[in-house]
């Protein structure tokens, strides 16, 4: 949540205090009543990990702003190291994008400065 707060501040060019909002998000997703499953939340990874979307755009803001991206790196490493057969669209995403390697994802799928991303996320 802290990384997303940092990304928002970079995007909005604001120094707004997001502590209470961050705490609300954490509280909301800690509720035992939430029964979302990974297979539902993570479906369509080709869209969710596309350039300018939910993962890449906040990551781009953080990389360009030289902010901490440890949480994004952890998610990214899990993405490359795992096989989520139960997630709709994951195996196609893995075959068409992930299996080419991180460097190809940076340069071809995201069209970003590869050296910077290799340094921060690995090759």
d(CA 51, CA 68): 20
Say what the pTM is.
0.79
The total number of structural domains that make up the chain? 1
> What confidence tens digit (pLDDT) does each residue in 76-95 have?
999 999 999 989 999 999 99
d(CA 2, CA 53): 18
| The pLDDT of residue 74 | 95
Calculate what percentage of the chain has a pLDDT beyond 70: 88
Q: Which residue has the higher pLDDT, 36 or 26?
A: 26
Confidence of residue 47 (pLDDT cuts 50, 70, 90): very high
pLDDT of 108:
95
Query: With 70 as the cut, is the pLDDT of residue 34 above it?
Result: no
93-107 pLDDT tens trace = 999 999 999 999 999
Q: What range defines the domain where residue 99 resides?
A: 2-121
Angle in degrees, CA 39, 59, 83, rounded to 5: 30
Q: What is the DSSP letter of 55?
A: T
Domain with residue 58: its CATH number is 1.10.1040.10
Torsion 14-16-20-21 (CA) sign: negative
For the chain, what percentages of helix, strand and coil (3-state, to nearest 5) are there? 65, 0, 35
């Amino acid at each position: 949540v802290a990384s997303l707060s940092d990304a928002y501040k970079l995007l909005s060019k604001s120094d707004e205090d997001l502590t209470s909002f961050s705490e609300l998000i954490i509280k909301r997703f800690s509720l035992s009543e939430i029964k979302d499953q990974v297979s539902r939340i993570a479906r369509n990874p080709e869209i969710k990990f596309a350039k300018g979307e939910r993962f890449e755009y906040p990551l781009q803001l953080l990389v360009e702003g030289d902010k901490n991206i440890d949480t994004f790196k952890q998610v990214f490493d899990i993405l490359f190291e795992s096989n989520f057969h139960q997630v709709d669209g994951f195996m196609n995403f893995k075959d068409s994008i992930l299996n080419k390697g991180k460097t190809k994802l940076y340069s071809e799928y995201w069209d970003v400065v590869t050296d910077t991303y290799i340094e921060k996320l690995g090759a």
